[in-house]
Amino acid sequence: MKWKSHAAFYDEALVYLKKRQQGKIHSFMTPWPKINDAGIKGFEYNSITIIAARPGGGKTLMKDQMVREGFKLNKGQGIRVLEFQLEMVGRNSKIREFSSVSKKSYKYLCSAETEGITITDDLLDKCAQYAINASKYPIDIVEDRVTAQEFKAEVIEYMKTHSIKEEGVTIYRKTLVTLDHSVLIKKMKNQSTLDMLNMLGEVCTELKKMYPIAFIILSQLGRDITTPVRCENGKYGNYPNSNDIFGGDALNQHADMLIALDRPALRHITAYGPDRFIINDDTVLAAHILKSRTGDTRMSFFKAAFENMSIQPANTPAQEPLKTKK
CB 97 within 8 A of CB 134: yes
pLDDT band, very low/low/confident/very high, at 325 (cuts 50, 70, 90): low
Q: Is the pLDDT of residue 159 over 80?
A: yes
- CA 56, CA 65: separation in Å to the nearest integer? 15
- CA 78, CA 45: separation in Å to the nearest integer? 13
CB 156 within 8 A of CB 207: yes
> Is-above-0.85 flag for pTM?
yes
Give pLDDT tens digits for 94-130: 888 888 888 888 898 999 988 888 999 999 999 999 8
Q: Where are the beta strands (DSSP E) in the chain?
A: 47-53, 80-85, 139-142, 164-166, 169-171, 175-180, 213-220, 257-262, 271-272, 277-278, 284-292, 298-305, 310-313
Give pLDDT tens digits for 185-226: 999 999 999 999 999 999 999 999 999 999 999 999 999 999
Q: Is the pLDDT of residue 74 over 70?
A: yes
Q: 201: which residues sit within 8 A by CB, 6+ positions away?
A: 48, 250, 251, 253, 254
